[in-house]
């Protein structure tokens, strides 16, 4: 299995798919089942959300509170891991009407073991002070070359932190950018200075994305965008891709995007395969 860095940096590869919180349409988001099913479906990268329990155990959950995914009340990080492990996740992306599954809240250690030899993990650390802790744990578990952590790269201090994490843990750090028409050039230059092979971007317009992606790709940095409905940029979202994938994913590929985080990874995979057959 290639290192994550080498996997992303391959020349002339197909667009990569990031399954957001796993394949949560067939298992609760951020559950072992959803992650396993994402890899079983052939999706190369799974995004998961990381927090720390009251007794110092890293676990998976997006929200600060337990309500949406477990139906219980309280702050997730205020619970011990024993308490969290005793809860059961609601199906899909949760909510009051979602049935309760048999899936428990998993630890990061369990997910790292599950992913070993199967694929890569995008570790979305929900609280910035935990970035180094999460990276060190991944390294201690022998997963340094299979995961990334990510945070906004906006200052010289951010760049120094990125370099420190990579130097001390071996874990790849993915910069995150908010591309704007008047500042994208400085942002792109900072990413290229970091040596990152991949960067996650939000953008104010397709034109801004095109300009920045051209510079980033030429410098060896692949561009990742989210087409998730709640956070998609400039209207390029999953629900529209279901109706006309060429107008969403096709336009973004032409703009220089080669990594997509999506809530509909199976649909994206079928579209990518069709493009390969037509080529």
Summarised one tens digit per residue, pLDDT across range 20-42 is 999 999 999 999 999 999 999 99
User: What is the 3-class SS of 81-122, one letter each residue?
Assistant: HHHHHHCEEECCCCCCCCCEEEEECCEHHHHHHHHCCCCEEE
CA-nearest of 3, 13, 21, 11 to 265 is 21
Handedness of CA 31, 68, 126, 191 (dihedral sign): positive
| Per-residue model confidence (pLDDT) at position 276 | 79
Is the model's pLDDT at 46 over the cut of 80?
A: yes
d(CA 261, CA 16): 9
Average pLDDT of span 101-130:
98
Is the model's pLDDT at 278 over the cut of 80?
A: no
Average pLDDT of span 244-266:
98
Is the model's pLDDT at 3 over the cut of 80?
A: yes
Residues in a beta bridge with 260: 17, 225
| Per-residue model confidence (pLDDT) at position 277 | 78
| Per-residue model confidence (pLDDT) at position 273 | 95
Model confidence band, residue 279 (pLDDT cutoffs 50, 70, 90):
low
C-beta of residue 194 within 8 angstroms of C-beta of residue 175: yes
SS3 13: coil
Which two structure tokens, joined as six digits, stand for 45? 């990268």
pTM: 0.97
Average pLDDT of span 117-137:
97
pLDDT digits 0-9 by tens, 51-97: 999 999 999 999 999 999 999 999 999 999 999 999 999 999 999 99
d(CA 240, CA 275): 18
Residues in a beta bridge with 174: 150
Q: Tell the residue number behind the tokens 């080669």, with chain if given.
A: 258
CA-nearest of 249, 246, 247, 177 to 215 is 177
d(CA 255, CA 101): 40
d(CA 206, CA 145): 32
| Per-residue model confidence (pLDDT) at position 115 | 98
CA dist 192 → 13, 115, 159, 219 (Å): 20, 29, 11, 6
- Expressed in angstroms, the distance from the first to the final Cα of the chain is 27
d(CA 149, CA 171): 7
For the chain, give the mean pLDDT. 97
pLDDT digits 0-9 by tens, 108-117: 999 999 999 9
SS3 251: helix
| Per-residue model confidence (pLDDT) at position 202 | 98
């Amino acid at each position: 299995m290639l290192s994550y860095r080498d996997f992303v940096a391959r020349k002339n590869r197909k667009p990569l798919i990031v399954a957001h919180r796993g394949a949560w349409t067939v298992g609760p988001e951020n559950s072992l089942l959803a992650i396993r099913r994402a890899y079983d479906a052939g999706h190369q990268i799974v995004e998961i959300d990381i927090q720390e329990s009251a007794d110092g155990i890293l676990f998976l959950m997006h929200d600060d509170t337990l309500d949406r995914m477990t139906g219980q009340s309280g702050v997730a990080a205020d619970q011990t891991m024993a308490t969290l492990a005793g809860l059961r996740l609601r199906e899909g992306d949760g909510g009051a009407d979602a049935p309760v599954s048999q899936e428990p809240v998993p630890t990061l250690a369990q997910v790292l073991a599950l992913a070993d030899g199967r694929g890569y993990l995008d570790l979305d650390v929900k609280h910035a002070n935990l970035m180094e802790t999460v990276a060190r744990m991944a390294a201690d578990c022998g997963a340094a070359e299979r995961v990334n952590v990510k945070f906004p790269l906006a200052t010289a201090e951010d760049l120094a932190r990125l370099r420190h994490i990579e130097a001390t843990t071996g874990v790849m750090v993915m910069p995150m950018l908010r591309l704007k028409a008047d500042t994208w050039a400085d942002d792109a230059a900072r990413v290229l200075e970091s040596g990152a092979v991949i960067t996650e971007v939000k953008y104010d317009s397709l034109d801004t994305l095109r300009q920045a992606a051209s510079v980033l790709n030429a410098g060896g940095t692949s561009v990742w965008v989210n087409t998730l409905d709640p956070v998609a940029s400039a209207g390029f979202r999953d629900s529209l891709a279901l109706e006309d994938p060429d107008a969403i994913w096709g336009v973004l590929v032409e703009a220089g995007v080669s990594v997509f985080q999506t809530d509909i990874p199976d649909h994206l995979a079928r579209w990518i395969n069709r493009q390969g057959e037509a080529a």
